[in-house]
């Protein structure tokens, strides 16, 4: 199955609390320099020729391009500015990772317990409320801290300043701990970045002409939390789209917890038919995406449960053939046989690929030696695996490819 989307027309409304940014649903989209840089690095051949011929095209928004936490290669993740950047790069779907505060309000954070690496909380008075305060590095022991959204109220959350997700493991002060940004990222666009609630993300994404893929994050606290059950949490996410009057066809709710997906399928079928099962089977001992006997569930079994979309990481969909070429693996083939839509994550998150690409490219590392391989893998995923969307930390790359290929 392949999804098709008629993207919503741009809606001219300011986002609550962010009206000073202005509405830019109609702002001109741009690929910027990076797609051309990647094409230039490609080896000569038909794919390079085809992509090079598209470099002068006018960018168009595409649902194939999904902003992963916005555009966090250069902007603080899950901020207004990060998502505006992703929309200007043509991302047709934007993501809010959803977690909750002490007063059970939904906010956009990649994890419930990441405030110490994604905000300035450790340098504020709210540091005293953190689950685990700052401990300086000493000898061979790294600096540590843990600050959760559930440690503070929504009002307190709003006082924090977001930053690039990073920390300095050798820090001896909370101020030093704020560093550690990878050299291939930047802090250039962090000043003045704004946090969002989930409800504010809905209003913002709608005003940008994009659709929605909220991810229900695994709680760091024991559930129920002060009487708030996992089912309450899953329902609250859907209720905020209902309250905003968003058509369910524009929403792809996600979770790594299959039970969340099944809850939506049973209790909110209009939203559940597009619920996305984020596959983390790689954490299962002995798991091999090329060996179905190691899978917790077959693709056919997932389909029988009512699941229509899966989202494994990049490496779980590809392998190398005898000639050393990237090709679909057994999981990809089984998903297509079961008529499951496939979404994947995360392009442009690995930094320079000269050394094999790390975790996201582990199944094809022997074929990865240049940043141009971002485009090579993307072509295999689109044309051979048949993915319907790709999360990216810099959506312009995926938008450019999808536009060129008419996806």
Write the CATH number for 203.
3.20.20.190
Tell me if 4 is assigned to some domain.
Answer: no
- Burial profile 349-372: b = 16 or more Cβ within 10 angstroms, e = fewer: bbbebeeebeebbebbbebbeebb
Q: Which domain holds residue 319?
A: 19-96+196-405
Tell me if 106 is assigned to some domain.
Answer: no
DSSP tag of 15? P
The CA R_g of the chain, rounded to the nearest whole Å, is 21
Tell me if 143 is assigned to some domain.
Answer: no
Q: How far is CA 177 from CA 134, 158, 274, in A?
A: 9, 21, 40
Q: What is the DSSP string of 143-168?
A: PEEE--GGGS-HHHHTTPPB--S---
The encoded tokens of residue 184 equal 């291939």
- Nearest of 246, 203, 270 to residue 21 by alpha carbon: 203
Q: Where are the alpha helices (DSSP H) in 42-94?
A: 46-52, 80-88
Residue 346: asked if its preceding bond is cis (omega within 30°), the reply is yes
pLDDT of residue 15: 33
Q: CA-CA distance, 88 to 250, in Å (whole number)? A: 19
| φ and ψ at residue 22, rounded to 5 degrees | 80, 155
pLDDT of residue 160: 98
Q: How many CA atoms lie within 13 A of 142 on its CB side?
A: 7
Q: What is the count of structural domains for the chain?
A: 1
Tell me if 11 is assigned to some domain.
Answer: no
With residues binned 3-state (H G I as helix, E B as strand, rest as coil), the percentages for the chain, rounded to 5, are 35, 15, 50
Tell me if 76 is assigned to some domain.
Answer: yes
Tally Cβ neighbours within 10 Å of residue 26. 11
DSSP tag of 177? H
- Nearest of 188, 216, 261 to residue 108 by alpha carbon: 216
pTM score, whole prediction: 0.93
Q: What is the pLDDT tens value at each position of the chain, 407 positions in all?
A: 433 333 333 322 233 333 333 456 667 899 999 999 999 999 999 999 999 999 999 999 999 999 999 999 999 999 999 999 999 999 999 999 999 999 999 999 999 999 999 999 999 999 999 999 999 999 999 999 999 999 999 999 999 999 999 999 999 999 999 999 999 999 999 999 999 999 999 999 999 999 999 999 999 999 999 999 999 999 999 999 999 999 999 999 999 999 999 999 999 999 999 999 999 999 999 999 999 999 999 999 999 999 999 999 999 999 999 999 999 999 999 999 999 999 999 999 999 999 899 999 999 999 999 999 999 999 999 999 999 999 999 999 999 999 999 99
The encoded tokens of residue 213 equal 């893929």
Q: CA-CA distance, 329 to 236, in Å (whole number)? A: 37
Tell me if 172 is assigned to some domain.
Answer: no
pLDDT of residue 27: 72
Place of tokens 């991302």: 91
Q: CA-CA distance, 171 to 280, in Å (whole number)? A: 32
pLDDT of residue 24: 61
Helix, strand, or coil here: 329?
coil
Length reported for the chain: 407
pLDDT of residue 144: 98
Q: CA-CA distance, 407 to 402, in Å (whole number)? A: 5
- 202, 234 Cβ separation under 8 angstroms: no
Tell me if 108 is assigned to some domain.
Answer: no
Q: CA-CA distance, 292 to 142, in Å (whole number)? A: 39
Q: CA-CA distance, 375 to 104, in Å (whole number)? A: 41
Tell me if 65 is assigned to some domain.
Answer: yes
- Nearest of 69, 72, 83 to residue 18 by alpha carbon: 83
Residues 6+ apart with CB under 8 A from 248: 241, 268, 270, 271, 273, 274
């Amino acid at each position: 199955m392949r999804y098709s989307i008629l993207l919503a027309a741009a809606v001219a409304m300011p986002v609550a609390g962010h009206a000073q940014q202005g509405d830019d649903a109609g702002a001109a989209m741009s690929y910027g320099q990076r797609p051309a840089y990647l094409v230039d690095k490609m080896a000569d051949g038909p794919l390079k020729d085809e992509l090079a011929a598209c470099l002068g095209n006018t960018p168009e928004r595409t649902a194939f391009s999904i902003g992963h936490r916005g555009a966090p290669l250069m902007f603080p993740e899950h901020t207004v500015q990060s998502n505006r950047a992703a929309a200007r790069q043509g991302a047709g779907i934007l993501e809010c990772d959803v977690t909750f505060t002490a007063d059970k309000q939904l906010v956009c954070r990649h994890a419930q317990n990441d405030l110490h690496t994604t905000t300035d909380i450790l340098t504020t008075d709210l540091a005293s409320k953190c689950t685990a305060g700052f401990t300086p590095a000493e000898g061979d022991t790294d600096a540590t801290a843990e600050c959760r959204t559930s440690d503070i109220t929504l009002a307190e959350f709003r006082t924090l300043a977001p930053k690039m997700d990073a920390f300095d493991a050798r820090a001896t002060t909370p101020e030093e701990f704020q560093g550690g940004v990878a050299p291939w990222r930047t802090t250039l666009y962090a000043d003045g970045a704004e946090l969002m609630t989930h409800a504010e993300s809905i209003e913002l994404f709608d005003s940008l002409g994009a659709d929605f893929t909220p991810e229900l994050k695994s709680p760091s606290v024991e559930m129920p939390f002060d009487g708030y059950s996992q089912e309450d949490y899953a329902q609250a996410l859907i209720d905020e789209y209902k309250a905003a009057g968003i058509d369910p066809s524009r929403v792809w709710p996600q979770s790594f917890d299959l039970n969340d997906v099944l809850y939506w399928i049973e209790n909110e079928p209009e939203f559940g038919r597009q619920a996305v099962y984020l596959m983390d089977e790689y954490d299962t001992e002995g798991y091999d995406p090329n060996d179905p006997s190691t899978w917790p569930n077959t693709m056919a079994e997932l389909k029988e449960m009512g699941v229509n979309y899966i989202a494994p990481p990049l490496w779980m969909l590809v392998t190398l053939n005898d000639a050393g070429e990237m090709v679909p693996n057994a999981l990809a083939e089984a998903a297509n046989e079961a008529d499951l839509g496939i979404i994947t994550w995360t392009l442009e998150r690995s930094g320079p690929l000269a050394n094999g690409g790390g975790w996201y490219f582990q199944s094809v590392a022997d074929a990865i030696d240049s940043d141009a391989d971002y485009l090579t893998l993307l072509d295999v995923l689109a044309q051979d695996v048949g993915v319907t969307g790709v999360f990216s930390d810099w959506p312009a790359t995926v938008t450019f490819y999808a536009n060129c290929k008419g996806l």
